[in-house]
Amino acid sequence: MNTLRRMKVALPALTLIMSLGFWTSATAQSFPETIPLPAGFQPEGITLGNGPTAYVGSLADGSIYAADLRTGAGSILVPGSFGSMLAVGLDFDKRSGYLFVAGGIFGDGRVYNTETGQLVEQLLLGEGWINDVVVTRDAAYFTNSIAPFIYKVPLNSQGAPSGGVETLWLHGDWEDVTVPGVLVINANGIVATANSRTLIVVNYASGRLYTVDPDTGFATEIELGGVSVLAGDGLVLRGKTLYVVQNFLPPTAFFNQVSVFKLSPDYSVATLTKILTEDEPFVPSTADLFGPWLYAVNARFDICFPLQCDPTGLYFDIVQVDQ
């Protein structure tokens, strides 16, 4: 549900270590391979803030958890409200220190101050499932998984919302998958290129990737060379490397992996280079990068599907995925 142009932000000492090639085994051992989340948290989105701080949102009550990737310690930044809040995709803007949150079935987006945990603004977007968000230089973009729209929220130079919500109709090559009587998840993860001129969106149900014009919503399918990204959820972009988190479409399609693609210079072609997965029960939803690792939310949709189970007493975690 994240853009990685901000992933170059890290603690100065850590940046120096990495730039000199001295990422030692002792340094690596200080970053745990799994980070437990509070019981019943039911995570979905993850994004990196400043340094090794990761923010994770809860599908159970909309709460936000802040975790230190270096130590594994964490605490609730934003308390939840069961029945009136959801937190799906997240993105962080380093200019303002604001956290942007997709609100799922409640049709909203929320902006929090990560220094205080206070709500800065609630954005009323539209009916549907507001699934993911990406912040660019001049706007925040939210996907709606059950309607072919992206919502654009203008931002000022400090990264604060500065205008009304604009609805962009996804058209061009974009096609929603429809099944009579079935709620189908279509537009899901979204990221932006470093220059903010191109968005990339995955269609969960069709297994296709698209570039999208951030001003018009015009979508152009990315050539995948016969590869499908069915059940594609969160996206992560660093340079020309795109990570597609795939979980499952029950009852038959199970992936539970992260597919890694190399993008062509114009983003029109994506070539699969490797597939990342874990041996433990692993049902990832979203991910983000820090240092040499990909950190994925192990959402365990296999034991607790969103809005269809009570997560009380269940345990979830963040998994450090080797590349």
Query: For position 110, which CATH number holds?
Result: 2.130.10.10
The C-alpha atoms of residue 244 and residue 291 are separated, in whole angstroms, by: 18
For the entire predicted model, the pTM comes to: 0.91
Half-sphere exposure of 286 (CA within 13 A, CB side): 32
Radius of gyration of the chain (CA): 18
The C-alpha atoms of residue 144 and residue 166 are separated, in whole angstroms, by: 13
Number of domains forming the structure of the chain: 1
Per-residue confidence of the chain (323 residues) as pLDDT tens digits?
443 333 333 333 333 333 333 344 445 458 999 999 999 999 999 999 999 999 999 999 999 999 999 999 999 999 999 878 999 999 999 999 999 999 999 999 999 999 999 999 999 999 999 999 999 999 999 999 999 999 999 999 999 999 899 999 999 999 999 999 899 999 999 999 999 999 999 999 999 999 999 999 999 999 999 999 999 999 999 999 999 999 998 777 889 999 999 999 999 999 999 999 998 889 999 999 998 999 999 999 888 888 788 889 899 999 999 88
CA nearest neighbour of 229 among 192, 256, 269, 202: 202
The residue behind tokens 């205080």 is 116
pLDDT at 27: 53
Can you give the residue range of the structural domain that contains 111?
5-321
